[in-house]
Amino acid sequence: MHRSLVLSCIVPALCMALLGMSAARADTQKLLHSERSLYREVLVYEGNNQRCMCFTRHCRVGRQSCMDPRTPDQIVMNYPRLMLGSLYLNPRPRTILLVGLGGGTLPRALQQILPEAHIDVVEIDPAVVRVAAKYFDFTANERVRVIESDGRVFVKRAGREGRHYDLIMLDAFDHEYIPEHLLTQEFLREVKTLLAPGGVVAANTFSSSRLYDHESTTYASVFGQYFNLKRDNRVILYKEGDLPSHDQLAANGQGVAASLKALGVPVEQLLPLFSTRPDWDVHARVLTDQYSPANLLNAK
């Protein structure tokens, strides 16, 4: 789920420009839905040929999910396009876990690309599930199951039950960022136990924030080397075993290119984004259940 980079804004003039853009956008938005759930405020705005789910008024801290109501199958945001880069690591996952629903862009896309796959979607907020169904064309069915639960609780329970997935997508956000208990080394270790042989993890994160270095070293402490893709957001991609070579990525990408293009994903732009070069402080402290990322986000 995409977020604006307000947290990383350190130049006052740039901050004012971003706020001005948000104000201008608010003038063209029509509020379609508003409700306060147990966890957050859930809002739906429409304007400029986009319908967006947001957790703050006028989407001032970014957008959770967006679609073009005229062409609902087309993916309009960059973060789900990057997340679908996971198919370059494994183009035919049969069992998929998504932590975080948003407007349902990813499960809808995966259904179209992989009609035989079984998809579990974990979403803590029943209001988000209702809004995704009413405003964003998301529908659960015999192959797409929605579990209303905290993501970490589900992952822990699934581990105890011995479940395994070919693809795990981490895309859970609140109104500020990823909930802190879904950022820690302990949680990621639990996620790793759910991977089938050759399984893939895709994680949607900010491309710039006070947490970036710590988040990066935390993923490295659990998964070792991973691909880092950036365009607006940052998506981390890991595959159990050796990471694919560039040639393997290209071959896998060709296998899904037609399906991705049908969804509006510019496949020719994905491959150059795959990088394993650390662009973070490799000595940054790892995030744990005892070392709260919230302390970093609120640091002066």
Would you kindly state where each structural domain of the chain is located, as residue ranges?
Answer: 78-297
Q: What is the CATH number of domain 78-297?
A: 3.40.50.150
Per-residue model confidence as pLDDT tens digits over 250-280: 999 999 999 999 999 988 889 999 999 999 9
- Decide: residue 247, CB within 10 A, 0-12 exposed, 13-18 middle, 19+ buried: exposed
Per-residue model confidence as pLDDT tens digits over 5-48: 334 443 344 343 344 444 444 457 899 999 999 999 999 999 99
Confidence at residue 298, expressed as pLDDT on a 0 to 100 scale:
53
Residue 120 appears among annotated catalytic residues: no
Amino acid at position 45, single letter: Y
Cα-based torsion angle of the residue sequence 170, 173, 179, 183 in order, rounded to the nearest 10 degrees: 30
| pTM (whole model) above 0.85 | yes
d(CA 146, CA 133): 11
Block residue for tokens 């296998």: 255
- Tell me which of 125, 166, 171, 213 is the catalytic residue: 171
Range 132-146 average pLDDT: 96
